[in-house]
Chains A and B, each alone.
Chain A
Amino acid sequence: MAAGGGPARPPGAPGRWRLGQSPPVPDGAGEPLALPGAGVATLSELFAGNIRDGGWTGFLLPQLPTAKPWLWVQERMAILESGRLYPPGLRTGADQLIHVAARDAREALWTMEEGLRCTSIGAVIGEIYGDPQALDFTATRRLAVAAERHGVAAFLIRLGGHANLSGARLRWRVASAASLANMLNAKAPGPSAWEAELFRARGHRPARWTVSHEPGAGAQAGFRLVAAVGDRALDEDRRTARG
């Protein structure tokens, strides 16, 4: 539901977020987080915080099903700007994926819709650069309906785009956050963490979390809350004091 919130805040019923109210930030580092909409076959839209930030890839990967191949569509500009997919860096099961390098957004959207009609595909991921003309409310709504009708999860990745009108059921803004402590080497980057903001969703309360994912944990189960960056040293102190 809306956040595996800490004990300080009563668990809020799913409700609509009113304008002018800042999204609630749950506390309680290390708590498992049930990601809203995880495992539901629908259209989610992910806005990358920055074109030069690949963090959303790490946030998305644990949410993809393992049993079936994925269809991963990259628009030409997305490949140029933030790199081509690199299978050895993806988790296991990625050798089954089908990669499509689309010339423009129109082709990418067509490919995504074609992939959604094939029920043997596990998930369809499409990366669109900027705000192309072809990507309007009708196009996203078509994708959402196709995803729900055929039971295939769809993820529309927006690189450097604006959150205009969209038919997506869940809209995220994902940026990299400072990684967790590396157990073996204090100077090295540790397990990845992300700043994930659910700013619009049907049936879920908008919220913002800093999360990490336990490597090797199941598809939707492994997400855990992380203390905000400023509090991290304090958090570690607290933990040592507790231990």
Chain B
Amino acid sequence: MAIERWTRIAAPQGDERVALTVEVQHGQRIHAVTAAAALAGARPGMPLTDARALDPGLTAIPADLAGDAALVRRLARWASRWSPAVEIDGADGLRIDATGAAHLFGGEERLLADIVDRFAAMGLTTRVAIAPTALAAWALARFGGKPAIVAPKTRTAAMLAPLPVVALGLPDDVTRVLERLGLKTIGCLAGIERRSLARRFREADNPLDAIDRALGRKAEPITPLVHQSPPRAVLRLAEPVADPSAAPQSLDLLLPDLVRQLEKRRLGVRRLVLAGYRVDGEVAVALAACALPTREPKHLKRLLIDKAGSLDPGFGFDGFVLEAEWCEPLGAMQDGLAGGPPPEIEVARLVDRLSTKLGPDAVTRPQSCASHLPERASGWRRALDKETPSQARPITALRPQRLLDRPEAIDVIYATPAGLPRRFVWRRGVHDVLRAEGPERIAPEWWRERSTARLRDYYRVEDGQGRRYWIYREGLHGDGRGGDPVWYLHGLFG
């Protein structure tokens, strides 16, 4: 499959001898080869150097394993056209539970032919088999050589008998032991007493277990890949309702339904949308978001009820849809011993309520960032979002309790240009500097800013009334980055 995907993407001219390689512990190993390269002696699993010795003209290209896996995932979803239960098997296989689905395609032969044709149309070669058990189908598809159908269940053992023991999907060392014992085919194993096989191998990779699974004596369920639509609850009204209180009232009917779906799927809501469908073809939408996944109906109702009340009904609503747009897994929760939810959930609910009412950007939490610039070192993130981990070290230097969003320019009188400030004017108020400490020099971040960015010398100053400020001088005299240095007031100390 990997080489077919490569062929489709790269579209080589003629028969090129190409090998896709993966990096392993001892150099490069061949992952897949083109037909021409295979003729010249290259085989998957071979070290690249060995293949080069056989065929010096072999072109090696790194394999795109992630891209291949993505293609398999896409194909698995696409394969649900044949049956809803499709499972990805290894790097290049699909297992389809076609029980009771074959007759829709005109029987099992037609189904197999349909699968082969449709994959061939995409440029992919397939090996297919239908069998009563998943393992038997796997063995026949991979090692049977031709499309196979095991029609009556009783023929399974007979059809598997000529296949090599590798077809049981056992670990390599077990397979090797079996081959050394002379048990080359699955049929050979069937002739041996069960007790002696059970004694020889560990339970987990016992050939007996594999045979039992292949013959259907032991269950092997498949876990299908299912695309699930988000939980939603629908309310259709017999007649349009123009009363603005209809939307809040609809929540009482919609929420229990939605919460039941969420409980069943063990999900919690992160973003909830109430859509009111109007008779004039408009849709009015109310939105609420949550910091932690939740499915508590009381909390969800409280989040949405104000916004639902302000939806414009126009000529009337004739339907409401409540959809959990964004869900996250949420197991069953236990309340605290004292009753009521645990503290972090309570705080998260408060954040939800505030964010819904004031807007998500107004409610924030501190977020540190690895930087020396004060305004960058500590920023704010939306309280609804999760904290992004940062490598910032905690700041140990004295910092003000309050920082102006934008440093304000001040007029400063100083004794010497590089010395301590003596007096400054901020917002038309004169402040005599009685005590000062500094400078704390913070250099510009040259990797982020322009070359004209100037360094800052921060001073901690106290005026005649005891007010403490954080001021800085941007630049130095004669640093070649602009004229005279400018002074700014940046923070207030408590």
Contacts and interface: CB of A to CB of B under 8 A. Distances in A.
Interface of A: 50, 52-61, 68-69, 71, 79-80, 82-90, 94-103, 107, 110-111, 114-115, 118-121, 175-179, 182, 185, 187-189, 192-193, 195
A118 B377 CA distance: 30
A188 B436 contact: yes
Nearest first, the 3 closest Cβ-Cβ pairs linking A and B are A58-B494, A54-B492, A57-B494
Contact of A118 (B347, B374, B405): B347
Contact of B494 (A54, A98, A119): A54
B378 to A, nearest CB: 5
Contact of B402 (A71, A86, A176, A192): A86
A98 to B, nearest CB: 6
Interface stretch (B164-172, B242-250, B356-364): B356-364
Given A53-B467, A99-B364, A176-B466, 13 more contacts: A54-B401, A55-B494, A61-B494, A89-B398, A97-B366, A98-B354, A98-B383, A99-B365, A114-B353, A115-B354, A185-B437, A189-B437, A189-B460
Interface string B369-408: 0000010011010010000000000110011111111000
SS class of chain A's interface: helix, strand, loop or mixed? mixed
Contacts of A110: 357
B351 A98 contact: yes
A119 B346 contact: yes
A175 B464 CA distance: 12
B378 A87 contact: yes
Interface residues of B, number: 51
Contacts of B362: 100-103
Interface in B188-206: none
B491 interface: yes
A91 to B, nearest CB: 9
Contacts of B353: 114
Nearest to B434: A178
B401 A111 contact: no
Interface string B417-444: 0001000001101000011110000000
Nearest to A210: B466
A120 B347 CA distance: 6
B354 A178 contact: no
Contacts of A189: 435-437, 460-462, 468, 493
B462 A179 contact: yes
A87 B380 CA distance: 10
Contacts of A118: 346-347, 349-350
Interface in B336-351: 343-344, 346-347, 349-351
B465 interface: yes
Contact of B427 (A52, A69, A71, A86): A52
14 contacts: A52-B429, A57-B402, A58-B494, A68-B343, A84-B404, A89-B398, A89-B401, A89-B402, A99-B380, A114-B353, A176-B468, A187-B436, A187-B437, A188-B460
A101 B364 CA distance: 8
